[in-house]
Amino acid sequence: MLMIDKVVSLDETKICAEKSLTGNEFFFQGHFPDNPIMPGVMIVEAVGQAGALIALLNEHFDGAQYILAFAGLERAKFKKMVRPGDTLRINVEIVKQRRNLYKFIGEACVGDSVVTQLSFSAAMTPKSRAV
């Protein structure tokens, strides 16, 4: 499931993307009833997808043959809740690339407030073949 609605800006090492949260997203239905918030794991997924987009859109790898999959997650901090009606702005930067391994820093914001910060790594991996 794609967690990004649009790319706001992109260069060789940085991306700014957005996700508008309507309240109809599946994860709001049970997290938490009568007090919906976006689960932290979904915020991390959105940040990870933005990181993969930097590499894909800058043609660091062939998206038809490879995926960029999480390899590690460090220093994730969740500072504020994200609720239906919010627009999540996602900023990610590639800080290092060596062979098939990428290191990123990222943050997610709502308005001027940082809601999540993290560092993560991802590995370029061949797409699995259907059996």
User: Catalytic amino acids?
Assistant: 31
Q: Which residues contact 103 (CB under 8 A, 6 or more apart)?
A: 94, 95, 96, 97, 119, 120, 121
d(CA 31, CA 35): 8
CA distances from 122 to 47, 82, 104, 110, 125 (A): 12, 25, 8, 25, 9
